[in-house]
Chain A
Amino acid sequence: MTAREPLGEARCREILEVGPEATQEDIRRAYIFLRGLYAPDSPALAAPSMDEFDPLVVARILAEVEAAYAELCERQEAALPAPLPVRTVVSEPDHALDGPSMRALREAGGFTLERLASETSIRLAYLEALEEERFRDLPSAPVIVRGYLTAYLAALGVGGEATITGYVHRFQMWQGKAPTS
């Protein structure tokens, strides 16, 4: 590979569409998201048959995203996990429900934890444990955890049965039990 001009920190963040306050985790998520979005056969860009969405342009954007992430990794002295190998990401959207994404969704909706606690009648400590995935601090019955997750998403005004199951399974795995449902 030929050495390329560095893009610079600010430009890298611009390409990855993250602000100066973004954490390493934010950057990694943004990278995975954009990488899926601008993948060669991305379903999100399939419909528009307009010249702007030229496959060559898409390929250039993808290359830019890769370069920006690689450069940020280097800049942060490999503090970020290295770019993922191509095949594992392309068709793997980052959709599983987990603590950080629940929190991001809550914050996107402008909810405080306190507000959510009063909306759902779930104790604040449990909501915190759900978002931080501190499984030991949750009630031990998976059915209750599932109920909490359902109430949590419902209060935010979104459904998500399918995504809840994954969370509950992980909780059960942690408990050392075989998933039942």
Chain B
Amino acid sequence: MLIWAVGGGKGGTGKSLIANGLGLRLAERGSRVVLVDADFGGANQHTYCGLRHPGANLGRFFEGKASLEELILETRIPGLRMIPGNLNSPNTDGLTSAHKLKFFRHLRKLDADHVLLDLGAGTQYDTLDSFLLADVKVAVITPEPLAIENFYLFVKNLQFRQLGAVLGEMRLRDAAREVWKNRAAMGIATVLDLARHMGGTSAEFLERYRRERATLRLHLVLNEVREFRQVDQAMAARSAVLKFFQIPVDYAGFVHHDKDLWHQFGQSPGPILKGASFAMTHGLESVLDGILKARAERGLP
């Protein structure tokens, strides 16, 4: 079973839409899919699924009152099911890491081939941790400077959070904090500089961090394309993440802006994207193929 996370930083870039589209495509190709609305602050994946009044939601799970299985809802598409997000509860900033690990442990036990997490915007720890724990990491951007800037911020925070986790595990967090305090004198400016420095002091850390870093690899999706040349912006973002953060990025493809999409909401009882335009359907197909191809090239399922 594969856990996917769809994130990327800025709100409104189409993370929920892409998560829904990928889930729908996978289900139509015969997989058993569960879409999980993990946007704790702004859950709306149920609307993309065409469900108006989802009953219980993930909040019940975090309160220890329901299992994930009990929260699963059917959609009108065979093979596509979903778990609605935290609609009424206050935000979940307070999720402990024990909560999160339990969440992922239970996700892995779901009876499904693919579990897709629709993540919220921003760089809250919950979002970053869910993204880092996923097997398939999908980042969505739009061809817009602000979206791309937030994406860089998202990447930087991912890197920082991942480093922090390994430092914590190796009981090096305090030492690293000291180094970071005096970073100017040590010529340390970036997360990678800090990692390198710590690597110089502990071979064990270096080895552990290297293994963890190898799991940080992104599939980049460009959404809301309106013009031919905008595809270059995804290529630029891909290059920048590779060159400045040394994190590999596979460009998965683009989805064009569909000016009639809003019209689909509330039209039919099934998932919104069932009625999407040819170009949007095709874009989502090619994004899914792009992701699967990049994985296949690395010998992954």
Given contacts A105-B231, A110-B253, contact A48 B149 (CB under 8 A): yes
Q: Of B228, B235, B242, B289, which one neighbours A158 at CB under 8 angstroms?
A: B228
Report the interface size class on chain A: 35 or more
Shortest Cβ distance from B193 into A: residue = A51
- Determine if B283 is an interface residue (Cβ-Cβ < 8 Å): yes
Whether B190 is near chain A, meaning CB under 8 Å from some CB there, is yes
Given contacts A44-B236, A109-B253, A110-B282, contact A159 B226 (CB under 8 A): yes
Interface residues of A in 1-49 (CB under 8 A from B): 17, 33-34, 37-38, 44-45, 47-48
Q: Mark B225-238, 1 if CB is under 8 A from A, else 0.
A: 11111111101101
Q: Please, which residues of chain B bring their CB within 8 A of the CB of A17?
A: 238-239, 242
Q: Cβ of B253 and Cβ of A159 under 8 Å apart?
A: no
A155 close to B (CB within 8 Å): yes
Return chain B residues, CB-CB under 8 Å to A53: 152, 240, 244
In the complex, A88→B211 CA distance in Å? Answer: 43
Residue B134 is within 8 A (CB to CB) of chain A in the complex:
no
Question: By the criterion CB–CB under 8 Å, are A108 and B229 in contact?
Answer: no
Supposing A51-B190, A153-B228, A159-B228 touch, asked if A110 and B149 sit within 8 A by C-beta, the answer is no
Closest chain B residue to A14 by CB distance?
Answer: B242
Question: Does B153 reach chain A (CB closer than 8 Å)?
Answer: yes
Q: Is the CB of A110 within 8 A of B190?
A: no
For the complex, give the distance between the alpha carbons of A162 and B255 in Å: 20
**Residues from 231 to 280 in B contacting A, C-beta threshold 8 Å:** 231-233, 235-236, 238-240, 242-245, 253-256, 278-280
Known A-B contacts A48-B152, A105-B228; A157 and B145 likewise in contact (beta carbons under 8 Å) = no
Q: Are B228 and A109 in contact (CB under 8 A)?
A: no
| Distance in angstroms between the alpha carbons of A110 and B286 in the assembled complex | 6
Report the minimal beta-carbon distance from B273 to chain A, rounded to whole angstroms. 14
Residues on B with C-beta less than 8 A from A119 are 278
Complex contact B253–A52 (CB within 8 A) = no
Q: Which residues of A contact B60 (CB under 8 A)?
A: none
* Nearest A residue to B281, CB-CB: A157
Interface contact B227-A160, CB-CB below 8 Å: yes
- B217 interface contact, C-beta 8 A: no
CA distance A109 to B156 in the complex (A): 29
Determine if A95 is an interface residue (Cβ-Cβ < 8 Å): yes
- What CA separation (Å) do A61 and B145 show in the bound complex? 21
A83 lies within 8 A of chain B by Cβ: no
Smallest CB–CB gap between B142 and chain A, Å?
A: 14
Report the nearest B residue to A42, measured CB to CB.
B236
Q: Shortest Cβ distance from B21 into chain A, in angstroms?
A: 13
Q: Which of B275-301 contact A (CB under 8 A)?
A: 278-280, 282-283, 285-286, 289-290
A107 CA / B156 CA spacing, docked (Å): 31
B279 touches A45 (CB 8 A): no
In the complex, the answer to whether B278 meets A51 with C-beta atoms within 8 Å is: no
Knowing A47-B149, A158-B228 are in contact, say whether A57-B242 is a contact too (CB < 8 A): no
Say whether B189 faces chain A, with CB atoms less than 8 Å apart. Answer: yes
- Indicate the member of A47, A52, A54 with the most B CB atoms within 10 Å: A52
CB <8 Å contact, A52 and B239: no
What is the CB-to-nearest-CB distance from A150 to chain B, in angstroms, rounded to a whole number?
Answer: 11
7 interchain pairs, CB-CB under 8 A: A51-B190, A53-B240, A93-B229, A157-B225, A158-B225, A158-B256, A160-B227
Q: Which 8 A-B pairs have the closest CB atoms?
A: A157-B256, A157-B279, A160-B228, A110-B286, A51-B189, A52-B244, A95-B229, A47-B149
Interface residues of A (CB under 8 A from B): 17, 33-34, 37-38, 44-45, 47-48, 50-54, 57, 61, 93, 95, 97, 101, 105, 108-111, 119, 153-160, 162-163
Given contacts A52-B190, A110-B289, 6 further A-B contacts (CB under 8 A): A50-B152, A57-B244, A110-B253, A110-B285, A155-B279, A159-B226
